[in-house]
Structure formats: C-alpha cells, structure tokens
Amino acid sequence: MLRQSGQFRESQLQGERILDSNDLERERGITILAKNIAILYEGVKINLIDTPGHADFGGEVERTLQMADSALVLVDAFEGPMPQTKFVLRKAFANHIRPIVVINKIDRPDARPLEVLNEIFDTFVELGADELALDFPYIFASGRAGFASHDSQTREGNIRPLLDLILEKVPGPEVELNAPFRMLCTTLDFSEFVGRIAIGRIASGSVRRAQKVALLLDEGKVISDTVEKVMTFDKLGRVEVEEASAGDIVALVGLEEVSIGDTIADPEHPNPLPRIAVDEPTISMIFGVNNSPLVGEGKYLTSRHIYDRLIRELRSNVALRIEPTEDGEAYEVSGRGLLHLSVLIETMRREGFELSVGKPQVILKRIDGQVYEPYEELVVDVPQGLMGPVMELVGQRRGELGKMEVKGEYAHLEFVIPARGLLGLRTRLLSATQGEAMMHHVFQDYQPFKGDIPRRLNGVMVSMASGQVNSFALDNLQQRGTMFVKPGDPVYEGMIVAENARDEDMSVNPIKEKKLTNMRASGSDKNILLKPPRLLTLELALEYIEDDEMVEVTPSSIRLRKKHLTEEARRRASGKGKFATTVS
C-alpha cells in the first residue's frame, strides 16, 4: 500500500519491515509497538495503524483500536486463522469495529485461499459474530508481490482493489465536529527535544496550537495545561498544523503530565471519555538487582535505577503492572506473557541495565475460595508423521485436544492448556520434532487450577569455584551433561554451567586444571574435543530455570545461577518447601 500510493521516495521504502523500525523488531521479525502512518488515496486521507499480531502485545491492540474505524485482519492463505486472529477479532467485535478480511500471501505455492476463507467464516461463527459481521468484506492479496483481488485465482495486478474496498466499506469516523474538544490519549511518544507527545484521535471539536486544555487524569484528577504544538500524521512522519478537528489522529506536544487513557478536553467541558479497558496480566517475574560476583558489565545497577525505568515503562506499556516486593530491592513485574516481559528485559539490557530475574510464574486468582489459573488456546502445526510426540508432550502438560485437522501434509492441532504448561514447551516441541513444529498460543480464560505439571526433568551442574573455565575441566564434565559455558568464560560459585544428564543437581569444578603429573603427556590437550555449548537466549533461559534459580542479565551476558550461591546456603534454604506459584 505504501509503495503503490506513490507518495514515498524510493529511499523511504528500502527493504522489508519499513514500519518495524526498532532493533528488536527487526531482529525478531515481529512488530512490538503499534505505529501510525497516513496515505492519501482518491482525495481521502487513510490513517493506517500497524499493530503487533502476537497476543503478548495485546495491550497495544487494545489501545490502538480506540483510534480505528475498521480493522484489516490479515490471514495467511496457507496457515488460515491463528489464535491471534481470533484474539484480534474478539477485540474488534468488543469495540464495535467491523473487520475487513485480507487473505494474504496468495502467491504462496501452497496457498489454499478458499478453504481459508471458509475457516475464517467458521471462526466468526465461533466468536458469536452477529449477522452483520458474518457478512464480512474480504479480499485476496499478496502484500509482498503488491496486488489484491476479489478473485482467489489472480496472481498479478496492483493494490488498488484493497484501497477501493477500504473506501467503500469503512465508514468515516463517527465524530461531532461542533462539540467541545475531547480526545483520549491512546499512545505516548517521547522526544528528547519536546518531551512527552500525546497521540490519539479527536472525538469531538477541534484543537489549535497554544490552546488551553484540561487533562483529566486517572481517579478524577484534573490539571490545566497548554497544547504547544499540534501535529497530524503524514506518510511515514508527522507534520505540524495550526488546527486539527474531530476524526483526525493527532500528536499533541506540551502536555507533560498526560498518560495513556487520560482525556484531553476543553477546560470549560471537562468530561472524561471512558478509559481504555486492558486485559489483566497473566504472568509475573521478579526483577531484582544483579548481585552476582560478575556485576558491573552494565551502566545501571541499583534497584533505584531499575525502579525508575519500570515506572517510566508504565506510562506507555499499558498491559504492564509493577509491585514492590517485601524486601524493597526487587519488583514483581506482571504482563501478558513471557514475550511481553522478555522484550522489556531485552530493551533494558540494551539500554545498559543489569538485572536478576526469577522464574516466570502464572498469576492465579481466587474465586469463591477456589484457585483459578490462566488457560491458553494452543495451536500446533506439524507434519503428520510427527503428531505422536506433540500429543504426548502437550498431554503431559495437561493440554487437551479440541480440534484436529489435516492441511496439506500438515496436521493442525488445537489444544486448551494451562499457561503454566506452555513454559518451556516450545524448546521441547522443537527438539521432539526436529524443529518442524510451529506453535502459536493466546490467552483464553481463567479455569480451575489443574494440578501438577512436570517440572524440568534434568538437574544442573553448579560451579563450586570462581575463575575461568578451562577445556580440561570441560572435557570431563561434558561426558555428564550439556554445557552452557565454553573455555575462557568467567564463572562463579553458584553459577549454573551445564545441564546434568541425571535428574539431580551436582556441584562441579569447571576451572580445575590438569594435575602437574599428567603434564608430561605433552600436547594431549589437542585431543580434547569440546562440543559447542548450548546457547541460551533470554527466553530460553527464563523458561529453563526453576524456583531456586535466576537469570543474570547484563548488556553483554545472560547467565544462569542459583539464588543461593554457596552450597551451604542452598542446603539451608531447601529445607523450606515453597508453593511454586503466586496467588493474587
């Protein structure tokens, strides 16, 4: 759409992922933050908001829907509707937004556009869409090849049919032009030069530069302020304007106290718009200072630094919650899923923070004296021959099969599973299926607590010494497990250096030198063949650890460690059993 609108310089459209502009988005190939752009088509300004598709960033979807009149729901012409498709549709229906379905990637050789269309129809029915919604507009497209068509067989053309469909089906914004100014702040941006920028769609009236406004904050607080600058969205950027009016999506400069969910209003008519409803978090982790002996690789180390950073995050990350813990040095951070929180950790580490993070815990609820836990809908697509191990793994983790279908050579399996059961599932699924399984999941609801889920089967090797790993020691240890470290890596007492092949923890000495008496067999080092260590990404590390363990995160390293560094302290602590999950 951007390319064919003809409004961009070629240099602005280089490569893929034009909107996924931050480093993390590019590296991971996913959208994390929603972004606004605008194009002009047939004299109509079309504001487009790109939202993340991954349910962990559902908070982004919830708030950006406030600015939208319609949703283009993109569905892969081979994969069909995914759990996140349902998530987005549910949100759209709840906000009375009528979706336009775009069956994308019809250029794929394995595309099955008409079957997918039927599956989408079934999804609408399943979600209880009313008759109006069941009559949904749809179109086939290839975003990559740049065409859209009402005919599923077309493999060429341009994107105009999609733009035309938008003009035809999307009602103009429902707004009151002649009422007092009111707008909900749905996005925040920051700039070094002008400070906080409030973004939202004007619900009624108009706003000018230098206009006095009332900020209607949470809990009925009202403050007066002045809009310094009004900007509207234009192509990939923003332009300053004198005035903007109802229906426009604007960025307002000068309101230093504003947060997402606040209403900005005419001071004579301070009536707040409904705040944005955001789903509750389902997962939490403890963020604490890094108190490992290797602390100091980063710039921001104190709990004060961490606290201030987390509070800053709250302004724009609407689905996040933060609570101080009893010891005051650490914070319980809650979010929508592992990815939601790990992206925050990854962002912080790139900014120079060091942290220690505890095992992710699902957030339990007590309803009428009974404990409830979050359940997720899980979809696994896997070559048919590999269904067995998938069923077994998901079954062990208390997932229940709902639907099973065959799509081409793939089996498509739909489960409902406690969110606890998902932690660590991806790695196991991938190794059980030689990397062939694809899984997607999305929060479904809270259901009664389902009982135990098997924990990590293996114990770990814990270093008993501090120093530098050497190959002689590793050569011995690698017979007994899978190493996480390589020669030359720094280790400390209490650091986890390997997975033990057995199910218990073992203290080891990865810095042990060869005894002098053996030295005569010179050159024997050459016979040491070390397997490459298992590299743990942040998410893998978080999924891996148990309750008595932590992940040490610094700008340059991710290490696993025991909470208690000495064996003595661990022995003392292990006397007291702990409930594995938190109850709220």
Q: How far is the CB of 343 from ligand GTP (least distance, A)?
A: 12
Lookup result for tokens 């592992």:
338
Residues 283-322: x/- map of binding to Mg ion (CB under 5 A)? Answer: ----------------------------------------
User: Does residue 531 belong to the site contacting ligand GTP (CB under 6 A)?
Assistant: no
User: Does residue 66 belong to the site contacting Mg ion (CB under 5 A)?
Assistant: no
Q: Which residue is nearest to ligand GTP (CB)?
A: 53
| 104 vs 342, beta carbon nearer Mg ion | 104
Residues 9-48: x/- map of binding to ligand GTP (CB under 6 A)? Answer: -------x------------xxx-----------------
Q: Is the dihedral of CA 152, 154, 160, 164 positive or negative?
A: negative
User: Does residue 105 belong to the site contacting ligand GTP (CB under 6 A)?
Assistant: yes
Q: How far is the CB of 216 from ligand GTP (least distance, A)?
A: 32
- Residue from 7, 46, 53, 314 that binds ligand GTP (CB under 6 A)? 53
- Residue from 104, 123, 317, 554 that binds ligand GTP (CB under 6 A)? 104
| 10 vs 16, beta carbon nearer Mg ion | 16
User: If DSSP codes are grouped into helix, strand and coil, which group holds residue 280?
Assistant: coil
Q: How far is the CB of 21 from Mg ion (least distance, A)?
A: 11
- Candidate ranges 137-145, 373-381, 546-554, 567-575; the one touching ligand GTP (CB under 6 A): 137-145
| 52 vs 494, beta carbon nearer Mg ion | 52
Q: For residue 380, list its beta bridge partners.
A: 413, 439
| 31 vs 47, beta carbon nearer Mg ion | 31
User: Does residue 123 belong to the site contacting Mg ion (CB under 5 A)?
Assistant: no
- Residue from 26, 114, 115, 144 that binds ligand GTP (CB under 6 A)? 144
- Residue from 36, 52, 446, 460 that binds ligand GTP (CB under 6 A)? 52
Quote the Cα angle for 373-398-404, to 5°: 115
Encode 339-376: b = buried (16+ Cβ within 10 Å), e = exposed.
bbbbbbbbbbbeeebbbbbbbbbbbbeeeeeeebbbbb
Both tokens of 309, joined, read 């950073």
Q: For residue 99, list its beta bridge partners.
A: 71
Q: How far is the CB of 143 from ligand GTP (least distance, A)?
A: 4
Q: How far is the CB of 31 from Mg ion (least distance, A)?
A: 3
Name the burial class of residue 274, with classes exposed (0-12), middle (13-18) and buried (19+) by CB atoms within 10 angstroms of its CB.
Answer: exposed
Quote the Cα angle for 290-295-301, to 5°: 55
If contact means CB under 5 to 8 A according to the sort of partner, which of Mg ion, ligand GTP, none does residue 310 touch? none
- Residue from 64, 66, 123, 142 that binds ligand GTP (CB under 6 A)? 142
Spacing of C-alpha 496 from chain mean position: 27
Question: Beta 361-367 vs 355-358: how paired, if at all?
Answer: unpaired
User: Does residue 112 belong to the site contacting ligand GTP (CB under 6 A)?
Assistant: no
* Whole-number Cα distances in Å, 26 to 10, 17, 33, 205, 435: 20, 7, 12, 39, 22
If contact means CB under 5 to 8 A according to the sort of partner, which of Mg ion, ligand GTP, none does residue 452 touch? none
If contact means CB under 5 to 8 A according to the sort of partner, which of ligand GTP, Mg ion, none does residue 196 touch? none
| 150 vs 455, beta carbon nearer ligand GTP | 150
- Residue from 9, 11, 27, 31 that binds Mg ion (CB under 5 A)? 31
Contacts to ligand GTP from residues 250-279, by CB under 6 A: none
If contact means CB under 5 to 8 A according to the sort of partner, which of Mg ion, ligand GTP, none does residue 108 touch? ligand GTP
Q: How far is the CB of 518 from ligand GTP (least distance, A)?
A: 53
Quote the Cα angle for 37-38-43, to 5°: 175
| 38 vs 551, beta carbon nearer Mg ion | 38
How far is Cα 416 from Cα 442, in angstroms, rounded to an integer?
10
Q: How far is the CB of 76 from ligand GTP (least distance, A)?
A: 8
DSSP string, 544-584: H--TTEEEEE-SS-EEEEESS-SHHHHHHHHTS---SSEE-
Q: How far is the CB of 40 from ligand GTP (least distance, A)?
A: 23
Lookup result for tokens 């995160």:
553
Q: How far is the CB of 12 from ligand GTP (least distance, A)?
A: 17
Quote the Cα angle for 550-366-403, to 5°: 80
If contact means CB under 5 to 8 A according to the sort of partner, which of ligand GTP, Mg ion, none does residue 107 touch? ligand GTP
Report yes or no: 70 and 98 within 8 Å, Cβ to Cβ. yes
Report yes or no: 178 and 152 within 8 Å, Cβ to Cβ. no
C-alpha gyration radius of the chain = 27
Contacts to Mg ion from residues 178-237, by CB under 5 A: none
Report yes or no: 197 and 250 within 8 Å, Cβ to Cβ. no
How far is Cα 423 from Cα 307, in angstroms, rounded to an integer?
26
Report yes or no: 522 and 487 within 8 Å, Cβ to Cβ. no
- Candidate ranges 30-38, 284-292, 339-347, 382-390; the one touching Mg ion (CB under 5 A): 30-38
Q: Which residues bind Mg ion (CB under 5 A)?
A: 31
Q: Which residues bind ligand GTP (CB under 6 A)?
A: 16, 29-31, 52-54, 74, 104-105, 107-108, 142-144
